[in-house]
Amino acid sequence: MATSSNLPAKFTPVELRQRHGGWTPEKQAQFLEALAQCGCVKHACKRIGMSRSSAYELRARMDAGSFRAGWSAALDHGVQRIEDAAFSRAIHGVRRPVFYKGEKIGEKVYYDERLTMFMLRYRDPARYGRWRDSTQIDVPPDGIARYLWQLIDRVEQDAWDDIQGIRRPPPPPMDPPRVVDQAEIDAARKSRKQG
């Protein structure tokens, strides 16, 4: 089980009358640690030998603010585990058995492309965010390839210049393909129609 260092720094157990088998301060801390590990209230309660309903009753008490904060922090930690599992499924896929005539003949790995798109969109919104749906790359169809070959030619020329000992001033920077906002595209179309 995790140490109490995973708990919020100011966790103060709810003060209850001491009963054998009740929610002692140790039980409260153990519950929060178990909840952080498994992310499931039912399983955390089972690990420490307490009922789920009593955990919810304790959380609902007026003086249980610190316990509620610890509960919330533990669930946030559990969400991180879900995110890690989702990344793993997006990268490695999910193995499913393949059956033929009622017998298992092997396994196939399935990849959930919607999960992959979701993870990319929300983990790297600058590259894959929804804003990209309303943008357009302002380059001709072969523009990226031409830009790449210009860069390769420049590297090759620089290498030959170095071999021959020729020192030239650096060339002006090349303009990379430009991302254009949909509003800019619409304004250009409108001015063409009017002109």
Residue 69 has pLDDT above 80, yes or no: yes
Strand-pair partners of 97: 107
Strand partners, 142: none
Residue 16 has a pLDDT of 62
Question: Which of 69, 88, 107 is the C-terminal boundary of a domain?
Answer: 88
Distances (CA, A) of 167 to 4, 155, 160, 162, 175: 64, 14, 11, 7, 23
- Regarding whether 84 and 153 lie in a shared domain, the answer is no
Share of the chain above pLDDT 70, in %: 78
* 132 located within any domain: no
> Is the same domain home to 147 and 84?
no
The dihedral sign for the CA sequence 85, 87, 91, 94: positive
pLDDT for position 1:
42
Same-domain status, 154 and 83? no
Residue 58 lies in a domain: yes
Q: Which residue has tokens 């490695």? A: 92
pLDDT digits (tens, 9 = 90+) for 158-176: 888 888 888 877 767 766 6
Answer yes or no: pTM beyond 0.75: no
Contacts of 179 (CB under 8 A, 6+ apart): 135, 136, 137, 138
Pick from 9, 169, 123, 24: which is nearest to 73 by CA?
9
Domain of residue 31 covers 4-88
In-domain check, residue 49: yes
Distance CA 50, CA 92 (A): 37
Is residue 175 a part of any domain in this protein?
A: yes
> Model confidence at 2, in pLDDT bands (50, 70, 90)?
very low
Helix (H) or strand (E) holding 109: strand 103-110
Where a domain ends, among 88, 111, 146?
A: 88
Domain total of the chain? 2
What pLDDT shows up at residue 177?
A: 58
Residue 93 belongs to some domain of the structure: no
In a domain, 41, yes or no: yes
Assigned domain for 19 exists: yes
Q: How far apart are CA 31 and CA 47, in angstroms?
A: 8
Q: Do the domain assignments include residue 123?
A: no
Q: What is the pLDDT of residue 48?
A: 95
Same domain, 82 and 143: no
Mean pLDDT estimate for the chain:
82
pLDDT digits over 71-119, tens only? 999 998 888 888 888 889 999 999 999 999 999 999 999 999 998 888 8
- Residue at which a domain ends, from 57, 72, 88: 88
Token pair belonging to 89:
């499924």
Q: State both tokens at 150.
A: 């210009």
